[in-house]
Amino acid sequence: MSAGRPALRMGPAELVQAAAMARRFYLEGKSKIQIAEEFGVSRFKVARVLETALERDLVRIEIRVPAELDAERSDALRARYGLRHAVVVESPAEAEDESPDPENLGEVAADLLGELVAEGDVLGLAWGRSTIHMAAALDRLPPCTVVQLTGVYDAGTAERGSVEAVRRAAQVSGGEAHPIYAPMLLPDPATAAALRNQTGIARAFDYFDKVTVAAVSIGSWEPGISTVHDMLTDEERAHYASLGVAAEMSAHLFDASGRRVGRDLGERCITVEADRLRRIPEVVAIAGGHRKAAAIGAVLRSGLVTSLVTDTAAAEYLLTESEPGPRPALERADPDN
């Protein structure tokens, strides 16, 4: 700039040069070194000109995401809990506090899986309304194997539940499907053990250690939004409630601090073990709504989940009223150890 020129004014030559450099840098993707060589100046001069162009409003940078995504809360949630990925979706205007997870969570989660899954991966799907909605919304997946991680809520509805979700994902990817034709909860440990040894179920279990990306749902310990809660007797519910259960994921129970409780229940369940789940490189939880907010926080503290797709209702609670602990998702640490 010429000596004596007002600080907020650029001459025509400077304006033209700044515009040209900005065009090269922001639109054509050229480096500052390439621009410096073209204009015969130092790269430090280029950096100063680009900075001035921003300060003088010659260049405006807009960060735009689809209206249904809350980018600010997504980034804040990712940082607060040490998540690899956090995607916060605007809660539907008509959503009620009593409603289950908004269906649009499944649609966004389907797009996220399209980004995360690579060719040759093994994708694991656990039972849950959210994962079922996600599978229905899938329209792209690279070739991968798809395995079911849990039994179904009701074997009689398998075709409309997780078995069909596994088939749908495999169809989209063109890979193999390994469903589990069995209930999630059995009457006793002996029956569950016998089922785990059946050929088809055992084959699915053999894939658990190979899973690279998993999608799971989260439930809070109350009617209608916890699969396990609804499958138990009143006496059993009271027993596990007395242990402080606050959340459920894939038939594993957690207290508010993320510690597992009621481990004896797992002996009666057809589900991926928690230790195996912790070893999966990417575990995406899909859950939202006011009623699930505290439960989501509990599961995040367990260290079993690496990424989250949720809505603004749950995110607001997680960012203001919930204490995350030492970045649990990033550390993958077990609160019990």
Look up the CATH number of domain 69-331: 3.40.50.1360
pLDDT at 35: 93
Residues 147-179 pLDDT 10s: 999 998 754 444 457 788 999 999 999 999 999
Q: How far apart are CA 47 and CA 109, in angstroms?
A: 39
- For the chain, the domains span 12-56, 69-331
pLDDT of residue 64: 57
* Residue numbers of the chain with a pLDDT score lower than 50: 1-7, 155-159
In this structure, the dihedral spanned by the alpha carbons of residues 275, 280, 282 and 284, taken in order and rounded to 10 degrees, is -50
pLDDT for the residue 157: 44
Residue 252's Cβ-count burial label (10 Å; 0-12, 13-18, 19+) is: buried
Tokens 């607060």 found at = 80
- Is CATH 1.10.10 what the domain over 12-56 is classified as, yes or no? yes
pLDDT confidence of residue 158: 41
Q: What is the dihedral of CA 261, 262, 264, 265, to 10 degrees?
A: -120
12-56 and 69-331 have identical folds: no
Q: Does pTM surpass 0.85?
A: no
